[in-house]
């Protein structure tokens, strides 16, 4: 299967630059994966498509303000750092721009010396390992100096940091938001629970690998980066119960989907566990747990549109995207949503 099989035309003006004031007022396209039928709604109407006994799986990861702007000591040359993965205590794997200014031994100062970093190694794909030095609590310093790591296609400044967090974000560690969850409000989640839908919380810390473009022609040659996930006993119990009673498991976002599909055994059963996943889901994949998916509209030729196509069929998905373009839906992180049933 070729990368070009997942291409579609997207006018640039449909890329959402700002979040809506009211999270649940995004538009919602509903796609029937069997018939390919499409209908148009508002996100808050999602409750009409959830049934008593269903289990809604959400990813409760929290985005860290991972983008730091500093200067190389002794030169004042500006250096931008994106924190990707904590290796141990104060050592992080990072993406550095410009990389040529960050040789091993380079020292970088942030916030007039409130935080300093030293490049101690160069690893896969040119990423740098940086050891940080500071006084106090790293998370508090990061909250003061860091910016939200918005994707490059968002050029507007984010006025409120919390708008790039889900309302249920608790476990710190992501370099990007699980954006399908941005449409939910506490009130909407309460309504869903009152309807008799179980809500299972899992964690997958989203790395930038999820959004890296597929550069190879043959998609099976693409290598996914690993991301840390965790499933607690309560979440496993709720998901297993839905399956055992013939009800549906509905994932909010591709990250929740990848978490439960990575952790399930061959019978589609889950138990409390944690680990790293490199799962790459594309057409031909047999889902073990997931029945339905709530997701945003993804970049052409991305691993994310391939995952959605594995569930709903490539032709159905591309037709739905074509319709969304025609109907002027908003695309990507701050855009509208799709429910595949």
Q: Per residue in 4-20, pLDDT tens?
A: 999 999 999 999 999 99
pLDDT at 89: 81
Give 266's pLDDT tier (boundaries 50, 70, 90).
very high
Mean pLDDT of the 49-70 span: 96
- The 10 Å CB-count burial string (b at 16+, else e) for 170-205 is ebebbbbbbbbbbbbeeebbebbeeeebbbbbbbbb
Give 211's pLDDT tier (boundaries 50, 70, 90).
low
pLDDT at 73: 87
pTM of the full structure: 0.91
Q: Per residue in 118-136, pLDDT tens?
A: 999 999 888 999 999 999 9
Q: In the chain, which ranges are E strands?
A: 27-31, 38-42, 55-59, 61-63, 67-72, 78-88, 91-97, 107-110, 115-122, 128-134, 171-174, 198-204, 227-231, 249-252, 273-277, 292-296, 337-340
């Amino acid at each position: 299967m070729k990368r070009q099989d997942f291409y579609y035309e997207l006018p640039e003006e449909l890329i959402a630059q700002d979040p809506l004031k009211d999270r649940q007022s995004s538009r919602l396209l509903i796609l029937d994966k069997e018939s390919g039928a499409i209908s148009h709604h508002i996100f808050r109407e999602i409750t009409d498509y959830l049934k008593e006994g269903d289990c809604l799986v959400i990813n409760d990861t929290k985005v860290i303000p991972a983008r730091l702007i500093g200067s190389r000591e002794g030169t004042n040359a500006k250096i931008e750092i994106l924190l990707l993965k904590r290796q141990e205590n104060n050592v992080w794997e990072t993406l550095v721009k410009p990389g040529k200014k960050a040789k091993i031994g380079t020292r970088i100062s942030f916030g007039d010396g409130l935080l300093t970093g030293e490049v101690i190694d160069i690893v896969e794909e040119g990423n740098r390992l940086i050891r940080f030095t500071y006084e106090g609590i790293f998370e508090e310093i990061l909250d003061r100096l860091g910016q939200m790591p918005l994707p490059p296609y968002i050029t507007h400044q984010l006025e409120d940091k919390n708008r790039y967090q889900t309302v249920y974000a608790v476990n710190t560690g992501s370099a990007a938001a699980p954006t399908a969850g941005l449409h939910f409000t506490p009130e909407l989640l309460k309504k869903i629970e009152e309807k008799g839908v179980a809500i299972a919380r899992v964690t997958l810390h989203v790395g930038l690998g999820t959004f890296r473009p597929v550069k190879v022609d043959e998609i099976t040659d693409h290598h996914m980066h690993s991301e840390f996930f965790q499933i607690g006993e309560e979440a496993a119990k709720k998901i297993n119960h839905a399956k055992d009673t013939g009800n549906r498991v509905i994932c909010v976002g591709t990250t929740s989907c990848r978490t439960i599909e990575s952790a399930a055994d061959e019978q589609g059963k889950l138990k409390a566990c944690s680990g790293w996943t490199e799962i790459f889901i594309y057409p031909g994949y047999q889902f073990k747990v997931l029945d339905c998916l709530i997701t945003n509209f993804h970049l052409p030729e991305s691993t994310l549109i391939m995952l959605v196509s594995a569930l709903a069929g490539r032709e159905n998905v591309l037709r739905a995207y074509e319709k969304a373009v025609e109907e002027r839906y908003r695309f990507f992180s701050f855009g509208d949503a799709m429910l595949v049933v």
